Structure 1
Amino acid sequence: MSEREHAPHPPALPHRLADPVPVVLGGTAVWFLGFLVVLLVDRSNSTLIWTTVSGGLLGIIGYGVFYWQRRAARRGSRGAQQGLEDA
């Protein structure tokens, strides 16, 4: 037997560190805050405006996919991503 088989397993992360919801929602909020800052400071820079809008919208879409997968995992769907039941 190798050393890897006898190595102890690392402890599970505490729930507050394993839950991705605050990070996803916080990141999305930062993108929309950036959008407001760009509107107030440099409205003529359309690249920054569209970048921040896209970041915020992709954050919303990403959270929607995460929420959908977590619901599927909690109801026991075979196609759901594993490890989301406790999140």
Structure 2
Amino acid sequence: MANERTERAQPVELGQRWKDPAPVVIAISALWLLGLFAALATGHWSGWGEACLAGLVVGTLGFALFLSQRRAARRGDRTAQRGL
């Protein structure tokens, strides 16, 4: 019975299609951009126009950081995050 508790099930390996974050980031960025255009077209800049612009900027910075960490991990840098 002790062996049953210590043995862990191995997780199922995901396909490459499910590991790539780029399609999700592109879709969400497109929605932020659409919201920004809608804010500019309707004149609601001070409300949700600024929020849409901030979403685009923060998303771009976050994705750039992710890409640089993944590049460093593939190069084999010691300080890079693993599993990206």
TM-score (norm 2): 0.85
What does the per-residue CA deviation read over 1:23-60, in whole Å, with 9 as the maximum and x for residues that have no partner? 1222122111110111123x144121100000011111
Which residue in the other structure is 1:14 paired with? 15
Counterpart CA distance in 1 for 2:75 and 2:24 is 24
How far residue 7 of structure 1 moved from its aligned partner, in angstroms, is 3.4
Counterpart CA distance in 2 for 1:20 and 1:54 is 20
Which residue in the other structure is 1:49 paired with? 49
Runs of 4+ with >6 A deviation: none
Q: How does 1:33-48 map to 2 (within 5 A)?
A: 33-41=34-42, 43-48=43-48
Over the aligned positions, Cα root-mean-square deviation in angstroms equals 1.6
- The number of equivalent residue pairs is 83
User: Counterpart of 2:11 in structure 1: which amino acid?
Assistant: P
Gaps of 5+ in 2: none
Q: How does 1:53-72 map to 2 (within 5 A)?
A: 53-72=53-72
User: Counterpart of 1:77 in structure 2: which amino acid?
Assistant: D
| More helix, by proportion | 2
Gaps of 5+ in 1: none
